Amino acid sequence: MLIATGLGVGFLSAMLGIGGGSLIIPVMVLVFGYSIHTAIATSLIVIVSTSNSAASVNTLKNLVNIRLALFLEMITATGAVCGGLISTNLPEKQLTLAFSIFLIIVAILYFKGVTHKDIVNAQASDSKGVFEEKYFDGSLNKNITYRAKNIIPTTIISGFAGIISGSMGIGGGIFKVPAMNAISKIPMKISTATSNFMIGLTASAGALIYFKSGYVEPVVSGMMVIGVILGSNIAARFFNKLQDSTIKNIFLIFIIFVAIQMFMKAVN
Amino acid sequence: MDRHLNLNISRLLTWGTLLSLLFITLSVVELFITGTHITTYEELNILQLLKGLVSFNPTDTLYFALLVIIFTPIANLFYVFLYFIFSKNFISAVCALTTLLILASALILGLAV
């Protein structure tokens, strides 16, 4: 059961560029009956494992923009430290409610706002931008060159994602991926692969702390890791063949799922 | 991006993943051979863990496998930092070093970022 859960989580996380904490923690607590600390510790190890496994394939296919990832990670990690420091002073119920409403707004704007055609047009018509890279798109069967536009708003959102991540224990990919895709006009595949690479770095520090504190259940984590490595490898291998719009639609369903989950948590 | 950098990052991550899988498998084998069971440590002592690893204790082997997973992206980030230093891309090197320092400070502060 644990290996199968890991497989599903690894598959979805690798495809969407998310950590997967919002999937693992409820399953571990509600289905398997583990304590929240064990669930978080396992979730962090699983996130690192997903990231390692998916990024090993994605970097080889040039789908990860390393320089952009390093730049944004610097800001996200700073935000995460700040989030961790202020989390004890924040009213959890109101914050969770605000977060769920904000996510629904993000989902609506994102769904209506940007299409793959917009991204292609923006990249073709405007030569401005930073962190230029190119990659081979398997679904379009051609090389695509792209630059990150409007990097300042994306950086601010990444910092905000870090604060949310540090204070609420989620990966932050749910904010970073739409920001990179919709604001910086980076193709969806690059956004998710870059986010996935970044999440592994952020989660490793958290995982070490939980590891040291003795919250890690080695058997649970080990079994989940086996499943996750398999799942994320499968996802990463056929990820480049998927249409950007398909990844985006799955991502939207995930945002709505997390928003409902957060809303229920705040209301109850 | 430099093909070399991507290739080496991919290799490092693959090796980390394979090494952790190897230790997980090893711990299962040790479990059957020694006939003991895997326990959960209240607090972790790295030196004790390494001693257990060389004496084929399945619990320590499994904990070590998880440590390998956690340290893989950190080692990767350190490699990226060195790569950018040697290729004289100092802006990216500063970004990598800053991220390393922030992660280290999070560890010192005891924050699970």
Work out the average pLDDT over A48-63.
Answer: 90
Distance of alpha carbon B77 from alpha carbon B100, whole angstroms: 7
Q: Find the Cα–Cα–Cα–Cα dihedral A61, A49, B82, A184, rounded to 10°.
A: 60
Interface contact A204-B74, CB threshold 8 A: yes
Range of the domain at A80: 2-267
What count of other Cβ atoms lies within 10 Å of the Cβ of residue A39? 24
Across A245-249, B15-19, B89-93, least confident range: A245-249
pTM: 0.86
Nearest-by-Cβ selection for B63 from A49, A57, A218: A218
Which chain B residues touch A214 with a CB distance below 8 Å?
A: 40-44
Interchain pair B74, A206: CB under 8 A: no
Residues of A within 8 A of B16 (CB-CB) are: 52
CB within 8 Å: A209 and B112 = yes
The amino acid occupying position A232 is: S
Q: Give the C-alpha separation, A104 to A109, whole Å.
A: 9
> Domain range holding B18?
3-109
- Which ipTM did the prediction report? 0.90
pLDDT in tens, A221-235: 898 889 988 888 888
List of chain A residues whose C-beta atoms are within 8 Å of the C-beta of residue B69: 45, 48-49, 52, 225
Residue A133, strand partner residues: A146
Please give, rounded to a whole number of angstroms, the shortest distance from the CA of A193 to a CA of chain B: 13
Q: What is the mean pLDDT of residues A38-60?
A: 88
- Residues A58-115 have pLDDT tens digits of 899 899 999 999 999 999 888 888 877 776 666 767 777 777 787 787 777 777 667 7
Cβ atoms within 10 A of the Cβ of B32, count?
9
SS3 per residue for B73-113: HHHHHHHHHHHHHHCCCHHHHHHHHHHHHHHHHHHHHCCCC
- Residues of chain A positioned with their CB less than 8 A from the CB of B103: 77, 201-202, 204-205
